[in-house]
A and B are shown apart, each in its own frame.
Chain A
Amino acid sequence: MRTLKLIVVWFARGAIAITVLLYAVLIRPWHMRWGASSEEVQMRLEGDRMIARGAIVSTRALDIDAPPDEVWRWMLQLGQGRGGFYSYEWLENLFAADMRNAELLEPRLLKLDVGDSISFQADGPATVVTLVEPERALVLGDGWTLALRRIDEGRTRLIVRYPFDTHGRSLDALYYYTVFEPAHFVMESGMMLGIRERAERSFAQSRRASGLAAGVRP
């Protein structure tokens, strides 16, 4: 029994050590540019001029089978108390976020101006909208950019760039590398998948509706 316990303990420790090592060597470099091409990683985006020098930057990208205007509407709803972040709300709510992801577009939320506040948590931290270029880019805070690039008539590339400035402080860097960055990858990739799912669904519905209106069988 004691030997079995020792085996289980050492197996768990070994598994965690290997996971952390693999994360540092292989997974982190991959998720920092999740889905993005080398050109997209190098590409200048609308919020780049707001990014502090020396900030750690991730660039992630995804194709969406919907035109930019459709994706844009879902992006306008971002925020706690608005349409949510379309990510894993059950995980966000473990941290008192009180997040509810919208499944529909709400007309009252389809407007966002520079200076508007976007919350991450109920009565918690928020960021400010720093740039709005309709159907092209939404920039939050110090350069968190959600950019849209038209691929063709019915498809869009969503590119998300997130900077984190540790201000050269070791404690901030420790927090960033060990907690924030891994958690942020999970939540941001979840958000991008959530935006894609909703935009594709609403675009397909509107296409079906317009086809029906024109007397075309869906």
Chain B
Amino acid sequence: MRADRHYRRHLQRAIAHEGALIGARMTRLYAGAFIVYATVRVAIAIIEAPAEGIDVIPTVVASGASMVVASVTITTLLALFSTLVGAVSAIAVHWLLVRSAARGVRARPVVVGALVSLTSLAVGQIGLLPALGFSPLSLPLGTYLFWIGFPSVIYIVVTTWLGRPLWRHAHDAYPAGLSAQ
């Protein structure tokens, strides 16, 4: 019994760790995509501007490096948040899968992943943020998409996908419950 509890705790920690890593990784990838996009767009604007009296290539390089430095700092802070979201989401998906498996219900991992992500987004955007006095829907469309819209889509896709490997964990823990279906 004690060994079982110890194993579950260890498993929970491993799942939270994996979710946290995925959360941080997604933030870094998103930031990387933004840096590439922003650097190219700023570089084009500098190159197209009248070049007289300015060092075009050093200005392009300095602008790109400046955006990397600023973005790395902001990404580090945001990664802390996405680490937490990733860990909590992974535990929630696993918890739902294990509970359903223990009751002999063969829950579809994709459905559970989507359910967890959509529920957390609804709670965050419709419940939590407005309660803190901030209404995400009042943001201009571009701002909303950049800070909330696109990250939400990534979150939904990753959490939905995450259901599959976690389902295998649940299957290992309750093979009888699943095979009974």
Chain A residues proximal to chain B, CB less than 8 Å: 12, 16, 19-20, 22-23, 27, 30-31, 34-35, 62-63, 65, 88, 90-91, 93-96, 98, 178-179, 182-183, 185-186, 189-190, 193, 196-197, 200
Contact = CB atoms under 8 A, between A and B. Distances in A.
A27 B66 contact: yes
Interface string B108-149: 000000000000000000000000000000011011001100
Nearest to B141: A93
Contacts of B142: 90, 93-94
A39 to B, nearest CB: 16
A186 B66 contact: yes
Given A19-B65, A27-B66, A94-B142, A179 B53 contact: no
A98 B54 contact: no
A98 B139 CA distance: 10
Contact of A31 (B53, B66, B146): B66
B69 interface: yes
A185 B46 contact: no
Interface of B: 32, 38, 41-42, 45-46, 49-50, 52-54, 58-59, 61-63, 65-70, 72-74, 139-140, 142-143, 146-147
Contacts of B73: 178-179
Nearest to A35: B54
A160 B147 CA distance: 31
A200 B65 CA distance: 29
Contacts of A200: 50
Contact of B63 (A94, A189, A196): A189
A31 B59 CA distance: 8
A88 B54 contact: no
Contacts of A27: 61-62, 65-66
A14 B72 CA distance: 13
B70 A94 contact: no
A63 B52 contact: yes
Contacts of A12: 32
5 contacts: A88-B45, A96-B139, A96-B143, A183-B66, A183-B67
A213 to B, nearest CB: 26
Contacts of B139: 96
Contacts of B146: 94
B42 to A, nearest CB: 6
